[in-house]
Amino acid sequence: MFFPIGDDNSRRVRIPFVNLGLITLNGLAFVAELTAHAQGGLVEFVHHWSVLPVDYTMHAGLGGPVPWTLVTSMFLHGGWGHLLGNMVCLGIFGDNVESALGHGRYLAFYLLAGILGALTHVVTQPHSTVPTLGASGAISGVLAAYVLYFPHNRVLVWFWFRILAVPALVVIGLWAVMQLASGAGSLIAAGPGGGVAYLAHVGGFLGGLVLAYVLMPVEVRAARSEPRDPYQ
């Protein structure tokens, strides 16, 4: 099992204040969850601000679709591990993508990738009554943009008590294959169960690839076409 802990920031030319703001908002939303839990209202809080697929597909639950939950749900998390894992990945990969896209386009990209991830989960689990929450769909889009813009960047990963520098194409490629395999498994499994919404990750990643390609800056396109030393 591997986990990213850092990357090459040599091409970052902008201060990633949008990315830092997103991390801060996720932290504040988690504080709100903890507060709701302390007051005995966590279940109601989560159901109000998360995506419930049946509300979008069957007009069931609390009155039908509530479109703002496609955005609010991506700032909620199911626990400390869920939050910290997502925020570490966002901190490592998001700053370079923001530097490439610019602040405004990066924010729009992040939100759209998250929405596409949530909608993918809704379409593939239309009868699910389990609240869907987390930044994973949006962060999957960020990973897609990163591997498209910086495929040869070295990513530091923790792997079996060792730290290795691995090309982003390998790290994110392996991650994408794992998500696709897990997503296919969730489709095969019977019933709208809980657990990880892998297909939201797949939807966010594929949507992020398309968006990142459309939005690819000229300078990034030029840098990708430059010949590289195969030993770097």
Q: Is residue 230 part of a domain?
A: no
pLDDT at residue 111, as a whole number: 97
pLDDT in tens, the chain (232 residues): 678 999 988 878 788 999 999 999 999 999 999 999 999 999 999 988 999 888 888 754 445 557 789 999 999 999 999 999 999 999 999 999 999 999 999 999 999 999 999 999 999 888 888 889 999 999 999 999 999 999 999 999 988 889 999 999 999 999 988 888 877 776 665 455 455 688 899 999 999 999 999 999 988 888 776 655 444 4
pLDDT at residue 76, as a whole number: 95
Number of domains comprising the chain: 1
Q: Is residue 231 part of a domain?
A: no
Q: Is residue 143 part of a domain?
A: yes
User: Which has the closest alpha carbon to 102: 219, 207, 209, 23?
Assistant: 219
Q: Is residue 86 part of a domain?
A: yes
* CA pair distance 43, 135, nearest whole angstrom: 19
CATH number, domain with residue 104: 1.20.1540.10
pLDDT at residue 228, as a whole number: 59
Q: Is residue 172 part of a domain?
A: yes
pLDDT at residue 195, as a whole number: 57
Per the structure, the complete domain to which residue 217 belongs is given by 2-224
Q: Is residue 62 part of a domain?
A: yes
